[in-house]
Chains A and B, each alone.
Chain A
Amino acid sequence: MNREDFPMLKQDIIYFDNGATSLKPQAVIDKMTEYYEKYSANAHRGDYDISYKVDMEYENARDEVVSFINAKDKEEIIFTSGATEALNMIATGFFANIVEAGDEILITTSEHASNVLPWFRLAKDYGCIINYIPLDDNLHVTIDNVKKSISPRTKIIALAHITNVVGDVRPIKEITKLAHENNIFVVVDGAQSVPHLSVDVQDLDIDFLAFSAHKMLGPTGTGVLYGKKELLESLEPINLGGGMNESFDSPNEVYLKELPTRLEAGTPNIAGVIGLGEAIRYLKKIGIEKIREREIHLREYLIEKLVKLPHVDIINLEADSGIVTFNIDGIFSQDVAYFLNKYNICVRAGNHCAKILKNATGVTNSLRISLYFYNTETEIDELIELLKNKDKIMEEMI
């Protein structure tokens, strides 16, 4: 649906790599171009009209984020360069100041590198221990397994809301309830969930949430760090500089601004943030529930056809999202991806940045189809037609 809004879809391509990045609608592109063409000034600076306009548009985007994830307050929304930067800020700016040696951090083996490496560094620098919540037979996280993994030393649970390889939706609400009863913080990597389903940070009672604009129809280089206000108050800025300070005279006399500005040092990615605001307006116009419904339908349609192919091994048969991961029996995933590329079909092959997942699945690499609402049944039919014939793949893959 809404395909006509996406200039990229006017080309002869089938784009199935939305988990990596989404396509951008014309409205988002126009909104960003408008900034560069019509009011290309800096934010929070000038006493002239176009600079006010920048402030207004920039803060409007923040309002859009507030309502999209139902934050309590504008001060809880920090613009970053992406989910990666947000997760690093959470680990380094907040947790590095409060963890003690022996504290435990719970993650899973199916996390993306961005939700693993900042915790590895924290563990290495401060003597914390990384523990893994066991995955069930479907590679899902169950509340029972979270319960079993919690110890009196658990301080942080850091999980993707939806994982980028398995595509399972984690029971975040139950997890935060259990965590908070045990004085544990919950950090959610929302890169794969915020674009695809309704995320209500108050209802889910999430302490910190990170997500990226470019996976939700917005531009690259922009993302969001959400944190409960009382927690963000003690998140130390990693970057110091312009825009975020109130005054300074000497090393001992540095006064910083209030949230959220305090955590957005330097000239922000203004066009990016304004683009994200427009992307959210676009998503709201369609309706996130409708988007989710459409993706689930497309997933079911794809799975129904894939299971009929005897040489296809689906890794995440059970998953409640638009992510389908599989292998063709006896053919290296990259070779299949290259074959599909000859027919202008974009899929991802590899380990999808979840490099420790192989320990759980025994599968080191795979093909991933990640759907978005603008994909169609016809596109899926074309894919299936090509995957049907293993000999043809072998014939044309090099």
Chain B
Amino acid sequence: MDKRTIIMDHYNNPRNMKKISDKNYLNENTSNASCIDNLDIYIKIENDVIMDMAFSGEACAISVSSASIMTCNLIGKTINEALEFLNNMEAMLNNQPFNKDILNEAVVYEDTKHTSRKTCAWLPYAGLKKILNNINVSNN
């Protein structure tokens, strides 16, 4: 599938897009200061493994599809694997060397270089990063 088809598929039929009020989930709001993208990220972790992940909110095609792809790729992964994924995503969006194999479908944003759109693709990961950082802080 071409990049556009993948993005539009995840935008029109976003996976794991639902509000979660279960207290077993950690959650974090993530929004773009420059625009109106606004997402909540939910994540359930047991023994360092991401058991479930979801998102809700209102955002553009790039943000929504990126969040959908993120959840699909990270459910079942360990926290360290998630961090590695996240670091590669960040590297890709900032034109740094990155590992294509790790990112799977998320490589569709490799060409999302327009500054505002880059922020959109990164938006769900910004929320995830906040959650994972909080875990690291509380573990230390």
Interface residues of A (CB under 8 A from B): 332-335, 338, 341, 349-351, 364-365, 394, 397-398
Contacts and interface: CB of A to CB of B under 8 A. Distances in A.
B100 to A, nearest CB: 20
Interface in B1-48: 4, 7-8, 11, 35-37
B117 interface: yes
21 contacts: A332-B58, A332-B60, A334-B36, A334-B37, A334-B60, A334-B120, A335-B62, A338-B60, A338-B116, A338-B117, A349-B35, A349-B36, A350-B36, A351-B36, A364-B36, A365-B36, A365-B58, A398-B7, A398-B8, A398-B11, A398-B62
Contact of A397 (B37, B59, B61): B61
A398 B4 contact: yes
A351 B62 CA distance: 18
Q: Which of B36, B65, B116 has the most CB of A within 10 A?
A: B36
A350 B7 CA distance: 22
Nearest to B34: A350
What are the 5 closest A-B residue pairs judged by CB atoms, nearest first?
A: A365-B36, A334-B60, A332-B60, A350-B36, A335-B60
Contacts of A334: 35-37, 60, 120
A335 B61 contact: yes
Nearest to A350: B36
Contacts of A338: 60, 114, 116-117
Nearest to A348: B35
Given A332-B61, A335-B62, 8 more contacts: A332-B58, A334-B35, A334-B36, A334-B60, A334-B120, A364-B36, A398-B4, A398-B61
Q: Which of A333, A335, A341, A351 has the most CB of B within 10 A?
A: A335
A36 B88 CA distance: 48
Contact of B36 (A333, A394, A398): A333
B68 to A, nearest CB: 13
Contacts of A349: 35-36
A394 B65 CA distance: 14
Contacts of B37: 334
Nearest to B109: A398
Contacts of A333: 36
